[in-house]
Chain A
Amino acid sequence: MNIYTDIFLTFAKIGSFTIGGGYAMVQMMEKEVVDKKHWLDHEEFMDTLVVAQSTPGLFAIDMASHIGLKLKGVTGGIVGALATALPSIVAILLIAIFFQTFKDNIYVEKIFMGVRPCVVALILAPCFGMAKKAKLNKFNWWIPVVAAVLISALGVSPIWCILATGIGGFIWGKLKD
Chain B
Amino acid sequence: MIFLELFYVFSKIGIFNFGGGYAMLSLIQDEVVNKHHWMTINEFTDIVAISQSTPGPIGINCATYTGYTAVIHAGYPTWAAVLGAVLASLSVIWLPFILMISVSKYLIKHHDSKIVTSVFATLRPVIVGLIAAAAIMLMSKENFGDPSESPFVFVLSIVIFLFAFVGTRLFKVHPIIMILLCGLAGLLIY
By a beta-carbon cutoff of 8 Å, the part of chain A in contact with chain B is 13, 15-23, 26-28, 31, 43, 46-47, 49-53, 55-62, 65-66, 69-70, 74, 77-78, 81, 84-85, 87-89, 91-93, 95-97, 102-103, 107-108, 110-131, 133-136, 140-141, 143-152, 157-159, 161-162, 165-166, 168-170, 172-174, 176-177
Docked complex Cα distance between A122 and B16 (Å): 27
**Is A145 touching B178 in the complex (CB atoms < 8 A)?**
no
16 A–B contacts, CB within 8 A, in A order: A17-B179, A21-B57, A47-B123, A53-B20, A57-B99, A61-B60, A77-B101, A84-B57, A85-B89, A92-B60, A103-B53, A115-B182, A118-B181, A124-B131, A144-B132, A145-B129
Chain B facing A: main interface SS: helix
* Cβ–Cβ < 8 Å partners of A113 in chain B: 145, 153, 157, 186, 190
* Cβ–Cβ < 8 Å partners of A110 in chain B: 186-187, 190
Q: Which bracket fits the contact residues of B?
A: 35 or more
**Is A170 touching B119 in the complex (CB atoms < 8 A)?**
yes
* Cβ–Cβ < 8 Å partners of A77 in chain B: 97, 100-101, 104
Q: Which of A26, A119, A140, A172 contacts B131 (CB under 8 A)?
A: A26
Q: Across the two chains, which residue of chain B brings its CB closest to A13?
A: B176
Docked complex Cα distance between A78 and B127 (Å): 25
Docked complex Cα distance between A94 and B185 (Å): 25
* Cβ–Cβ < 8 Å partners of A148 in chain B: 129-130, 132-133, 136
Docked complex Cα distance between A131 and B176 (Å): 23
Chain A facing B: main interface SS: helix
Q: Across the two chains, which residue of chain B brings its CB closest to A147?
A: B129
Q: Closest approach, in angstroms, between the C-beta of B145 and any C-beta of chain A?
A: 8
Asked if B162 lies at the interface with its beta carbon under 8 angstroms from chain A, I say yes
* Cβ–Cβ < 8 Å partners of A123 in chain B: 131, 134-135, 138
Docked complex Cα distance between A115 and B137 (Å): 16
**Is A56 touching B103 in the complex (CB atoms < 8 A)?**
no
**Is A96 touching B93 in the complex (CB atoms < 8 A)?**
no
Interface residues of B in 102-134 (CB under 8 A from A): 103-105, 107-108, 114-115, 117-134
